[in-house]
Structure 1
Amino acid sequence: MGFDEEWGLLRGQAAERQSTHMQLNGTGDGPLSGPGGKDFASTPAQKAAAANTIETELEPNTKKATDRADETSAAAVKEFDGWDTGAGLKKVMETWDKQVKVLMGRLSMEKGALRGASSLFAGNDQLIKSQFTPLLKPQPGPYASGLDGL
């Protein structure tokens, strides 16, 4: 058997093993969950806890780590002053500082969004309720259904 024949045989066997059909044997008990899984919803308390974690842990720890890295990098830049390595380290520090500012801004935005989400949802709920309130009140008169005798 030549190479081409053997290669063709092996490719055919591999294609047979890689079947593209799908078989669904069943689903789990209970309702199906969406893309976020069963724990998609969160409570206002969970949002507040996440915002507090950002404020009390992530932001201060990120700041500390950044300051520590800045001190070490600044010392390295001094040591390599006048060398291409020093110039490269200085450029890296500038980029690092920009990225840290973006990260700190993002953390702050997420914290604000988490804290604002509960009040936003509550406000939306009140708005929707106010739109339905006229429909929930009994209407006086012979055509209380609003169908005008139809």
Structure 2
Amino acid sequence: MSFDEEWAELRAEAAAKQTATMHLNSFQAGDGPSGAKEKVKITGAELRRRAGKADIVRGDFRDADNKTMTETKQVGPSLKGFASRSAFEAFVKRWNAQMKYVEGLLEGDVAGALRATADGFSAEDQAQADRHKRASGRDRDLK
């Protein structure tokens, strides 16, 4: 089996395992390594803050990759006349594709999912607030 076939198979398996939903771990008060006394509180603001952190990681990842590839690309011309030059060029091409893939995951599947969930929290909070306002308005009308 060639590298490309094996890689495609591994990616297909990973995609099959990946779910479209996000699961947040939680623990009971007093459990966990810190023995926390409070329950985990997830808010839209907290999710957006974490999405911002994911954006920072993505930027740092991109910068590190750019710096690495600037140095790595200097190797290619020095291999002129060697049989391994085509293999090195294939490596660089695959590397760039994988870095683009990981950056896309960080942008869409991490930061994007966190922001989408935060938007969902906000919409649900607004819907509940509107429902309670309508209910209290009806209560006042009954008095």
Give yes or no for TM over 0.5. Answer: yes
> Quick one: which amino acid aligns to residue 90 of structure 1?
E
* Structure 2 length-normalised TM: 0.58
* Aligned residues with identical type, % of pairs: 16
Deviations 1:10-46 (A, max 9, x none): xxxxxxxxxxxxxxxxxxxxxxxx9643465522232
Distance in 2, matches of 1:134 and 1:43, equals 24
- Give the unaligned 5+ runs of structure 1: 1-33, 141-150
SS of 1:101 mapped into structure 2: helix
- Give the unaligned 5+ runs of structure 2: 1-23, 29-38
Structure 1 position 82, deviation (Å): 2.6
Given that residues 76 and 86 in structure 1 are in contact (C-alpha distance below 8 angstroms), is that contact kept between their aligned partners in structure 2? no
**Two-structure CA RMSD over aligned residues (Å):** 3.0
Greater gyration radius: 1
> Quick one: which amino acid aligns to residue 83 of structure 1?
F
SS of 1:113 mapped into structure 2: helix
> Quick one: which amino acid aligns to residue 49 of structure 1?
R
Q: Does 1:113 align with 2:103?
A: no
Structure 1 position 48, deviation (Å): 2.0
Structure 1 position 72, deviation (Å): 1.9
The residue aligned with 1:60 is: 59
The residue aligned with 1:86 is: 85
- The structure showing larger relative contact order (alpha-carbon pairs under 8 Å, at least 6 residues apart) is 2
Distance in 1, matches of 2:81 and 2:50, equals 46
Q: How many residues align?
A: 107
Distance in 2, matches of 1:54 and 1:35, equals 18
